Each structure stands twice: as C-alpha cells, then as structure tokens.
Structure 1
Amino acid sequence: MWANLAEAMRQLLLERDYDSINMGHIAARAGLARNTLYNYASDKSALVLALTQRAGRPAVERVAAIAARSADPAEQRMREIIETVLEAFTDQTLQLMFRPGSGTPGAEAPKRPANAFDAVAVEVRNVVRDGIARGEFRDVGDVHLMVDLLAGVIRAGAERIGRDPADFAATAREAQKIILTSLARRPD
C-alpha cells in the first residue's frame, strides 16, 4: 500500500502543484476510499513524512554501514556518504522532504518530527569526530553546527538533482569538494 501511495503522489506531482493536492486526490489516485487513507496518515503532511521515511530507509541503512567502517579513512567514508545521500534524492518521493510542513529542516514549525535523514546526521557527526580524532580533518570546534551547515550543501545538491537528475554526477562531485575542503586540515 505504501508503494501505491508513493506512486500516487509522484503522479499527482506531475499533474499539479503540491499545494493543490489534497487527501482526496491521493486516495483516489491510490484506489482507496478517502476515509481509508486516514488510517495511514492524519493529513497530507503526516503522509509525506511517512512516505519520505520509508523511501529514505535504504539510504539511511547504507550510510550507517559506510560510517561503521572505522578502519577506512574518514574522507573516503564522507565521499561515499555524500554520494549515497544525493543518489537517494533521485527518488522524487524524497524530494517531498523539502515541502513546507514536511517535518524537515527549514520547515516552519519550531519543533519538528524526526525525518528519515536525522540518523544520517548522527552518522556524519560520528565520521567527522573520528576524522578529527585521527588527524584527518581539522578540529572544527562545534561538530554539531558544522554538520548542520554541511547539510545545507547536501540540501542544495538534492534540490538541484530533483530539478534535473542528469546533474547528479556533477552535483555529487561539487558537494564532495565543498564538504571535504571545509573539513580539510589547514597548514599552520
């Protein structure tokens, strides 16, 4: 059913603006009674959050596996994480994370529910800390802040890929360059 709901949302987004889509449209496209759809989510924002969590799960698991390879250099792991996350955003369902009210960074609500990529931020912080401890990355001071700032680079890349999936390779390379340059040890 979740795959049907994701596909219904993809199709609707090809036909109309996000804001004009309502639960009735989604239910009809997925072949459900509107009341049945409310068994899956209380409103469109909750449905989008659930869809993005499910769509993002494989990428989150892959990032966790990459981050856990502590014998590998932090830079190598970071490169792979960036590519994995950006590749995940070639799925249009994940592009829904950037809609207002979807429970993602930048959404209007001061308190937001967890999204599929909060776990990615945790893993990236761990890789950054590991890289600092091993002398591979410079001491950035506030690791949490640094990762939040680097997430902006990923978001910009993900949005670009969403607009034009053919830009994936160039966008991934540039995001890796920006992020790794910001973490690089600098000569004293």
Structure 2
Amino acid sequence: MPRIRGASIEQHHEMVWAGLAEAMRELLLERDYESITMGHIAARAGLARNTLYNYAPDKSALVLALTERAGRPMLAGVTEIARRSAPAADRLRAIVEAVLKASTDQALQPMFRPGAGSLVADVPKGPDNPFNAVVAEVENVVRDGIAGGEFRDAGDVPLTVELLSGAMRAGAERIGRDPASYADTVGAAQEVILAALAPHPGRGVR
C-alpha cells in the first residue's frame, strides 16, 4: 500500500497534486509538451506509474486537472480586479496584464501553446471552470464600461469578449515563445483590446 504523505487522506491528495504540478513545471522547462510522458511525470513527482493512474487516466486528463487547479489564483486575481470601484478601462487593462502574467506559469503553458484549443475545450464547463469564470468577469467589466459610457455598445457582449480573448491568447502564445517580449506584448494587447471597445470617433456611445 502506498505511503500516505499527509496527516489525512485529503491532505495526502493535496500534497500529491502539488507535487504533480511542480513536476509538470520542471518538465516543461526542460522539454516540449508533446515529448513528456506519464512515466516522466510519475518519476519526477516520486510516484509509481500505477499510482499516477489513480489521479488521471492519461496525460491530457492530468494536464486538464492541473490546469484547472493552477487557474484558481488567476481567477481570484481577475475577480478582485473586476470588482474594484475603478473605471472599466482601468480594470480591463489590469485584467489583461493579470491573465498574461498567469500565462507565464509553466503549469498553464499547455493551455496557451499553439494548437491547444482541444485542451481548452475539454476543461469541464460550469462555474468551477476558472477560464469560464474569468470570461464572465470580463463580460461584466465590459457591460459596466458600456453602461458608464466608456465603451461603445458592442451589442453581443459574450461574442465581443470571445473575440477579444483571441488577442489575449495570441499574446500568451507570443510570451511563451519569447519571454523577453512580456512587457511589450502586454502593452500591445491592452492597446488592441481597449481600441476595439472605444467609441467610434464622431458617433458617441450607442
């Protein structure tokens, strides 16, 4: 029977998940995602491979679970920003930076790499999904900006935010390829997103 690492089963599981997250971070710094195997992850986390399969049936499922957990701090940060009593444009600018900062976490890198759409789509839907919850917070900020006259009436707010999220994904992918571009990429993403929501010159806000 495997040795229990914590004082309780629950604590043991939390410690194992933390070890798996750190193992993935280390492995992603050393090799590309596709070359990482369940055997690599188990060995780095100090687990027997059959024990690892108690936590996930394959690498994709494991990465999805780790990503959901790693996304919780990002959601907490975005939620705090979204609910500030500040202009909507300032909040949105801060949210863009918070999300792109989170994308530098190696545990989240698989979700932001090119071609990761299937992984993103496979994260379970619902309020516990940190990515869906971040989108909901951004939609609320955009609605606040429209109501306050800062942003033009975008009409279909969910569609608008979905399109703008493409700019953030592109920024995250750029940062993943070239970490030194972080500051410039954040600035460019903020500019593009806020420009897309700005009132049209001479037309006011509808």
> What TM-score does the superposition give when structure 1 sets the normalisation length?
0.89
Shift of 1:109: 9.0
How far apart, in 1, do the equivalents of 2:164 and 2:121 lie? 20
- CA deviation vs aligned residue, 1:105-136 (integer Å, no higher than 9, x gap): x2189765245321110000010011111111
How far apart, in 2, do the equivalents of 1:108 and 1:101 lie? 9
- After superposition, the Cα gap between the structure-2 partners of 1:87 and 1:99, relative to the gap in structure 1 and judged at 3 Å, is closer
1:8–1:26 Cα contact (<8 Å) kept: yes
Aligned to 2:76: 61
Q: Does 1:7 align with 2:22?
A: yes
Shift of 1:174: 0.4
SS of equivalent to 2:130:
coil
Q: Does 1:44 align with 2:59?
A: yes
- CA deviation vs aligned residue, 1:122-162 (integer Å, no higher than 9, x gap): 00001001111111100011111110000100001111111
How far apart, in 2, do the equivalents of 1:108 and 1:62 lie? 23
Q: Where do 5+ consecutive residues of structure 2 fail to align?
A: 1-15
Between the aligned residues of both structures, percent identity stands at 67
How far apart, in 2, do the equivalents of 1:157 and 1:14 lie? 19
How far apart, in 1, do the equivalents of 2:181 and 2:175 lie? 6
Q: Does 1:107 align with 2:118?
A: yes
Aligned to 1:152: 166
Find the structure with the greater CA-based Rg.
2
Shift of 1:18: 2.1
- CA deviation vs aligned residue, 1:75-117 (integer Å, no higher than 9, x gap): 0100110010111111111111135896xxx218976524532
RMSD of Structure 2 on Structure 1 (CA) = 2.1
1:88 equivalent among 85, 102, 108: 102
How far apart, in 1, do the equivalents of 2:31 and 2:97 lie? 30
Alignment size in residue pairs: 184
Q: Does 1:123 align with 2:166?
A: no
Shift of 1:2: 2.2
Deviates more, 1:7-16 or 1:119-128: 7-16
